[in-house]
Amino acid sequence: MSESNNDGGGRDRSTDDMELIEAICNADGPVASTSEIAEAVGMTRQGAGNRLQQLADKGIVECKGAGSGLMWWPDFYPVESESDD
């Protein structure tokens, strides 16, 4: 799905969902911040966050709060977690 969004500069840019997912997959680690994803696809942080939340609502990506931001990963790319054992 491709949606039009405003990058904050007054112009519209069409960003495909796969561009957002690829930006996460191409990050340096197993997760990517909203800011990293926004920069990779040429969107504002707020615009990318809104689109990523839509993908999360569909079960395509997952997120978790980290400091003052969110970290994102594709639902099919598991993040290792510490066990409570």
Write down the pLDDT at residue 15.
Answer: 84
Is CATH 1.10.10.10 what the domain over 2-74 is classified as, yes or no? yes
Give long-range contacts, CB 8 A cutoff, 24+ apart: 6-12: 6/47, 7/42, 7/43, 7/44, 7/47, 8/44, 8/46, 8/47
Write down the pLDDT at residue 79.
Answer: 54
| pLDDT 10s digits, 14-69 | 788 999 999 999 998 889 999 999 999 999 999 999 999 999 999 999 999 988 78
Residue 7 pLDDT > 70, yes or no? Answer: no
Q: Look-up: residue for tokens 């191409």?
A: 26
Write down the pLDDT at residue 8.
Answer: 46
Residue 82 pLDDT > 70, yes or no? Answer: no
Domain definitions of the chain by residue range: 2-74
